[in-house]
Amino acid sequence: MMSSTSNGTVATLGDDVTGLEPGDRVAVNPVVPCNTCSHCKRGETNLCENAASIGGAGDRILDGSFAEYVRVPAANVEKVGDLPLSHAALAERLGCCIHAADRSGVGQADSVALIGDRSAS
């Protein structure tokens, strides 16, 4: 485990963490897989049946989100280099949007209409 501040900078590292240093600028994947279910064992951690969420929605929520410091598994951290932290903060959300667009077959030059009711859940 490691700690990162809310602005995306590693503050401290756990004893077993390698590949990261205090001061590294990072983005965080907020979905923590269980690594024991059948999906995780096949490497499909995005389909984990028992995933926890760092400070977000889900059946299992870990402390985080708007905290000044949050403890994050090293496997959920990605270095962002010189990317502005305001952009890095959108990495996970943008990834979800790109994945959805890829699955839909929508291309870069295609026109689409998004229709829905904000209040529907």
Read off the CATH number of the domain in which 89 is found.
Answer: 3.90.180.10
List the chain pLDDT tens, one digit each, 121 residues: 444 434 589 999 999 999 999 999 998 888 899 999 999 999 998 899 999 988 877 778 888 767 788 899 999 999 999 999 888 888 888 888 888 888 898 888 899 887 877 665 5
Cα separations in angstroms, 102 against 22, 29, 96, 108, 116:
35, 20, 10, 10, 20
Structural domain of residue 44, as residue ranges? 2-104
Residue 70 is assigned to a structural domain of this protein: yes
Alpha carbons 51 and 92: distance in angstroms, whole number: 16
- Tokens standing for residue 43: 């490497």
pLDDT, one tens digit per residue, over 20-37 is 999 999 988 888 999 999
- pTM here is 0.71
- Vertex 90: Cα angle to 84 and 92 (nearest 5): 125
Residue 109 is assigned to a structural domain of this protein: no
Number of domain units in the chain:
1
Residue 25 is assigned to a structural domain of this protein: yes
Residue 119 is assigned to a structural domain of this protein: no
Alpha carbons 120 and 13: distance in angstroms, whole number: 41
Residue 93 is assigned to a structural domain of this protein: yes
Residue 44 is assigned to a structural domain of this protein: yes
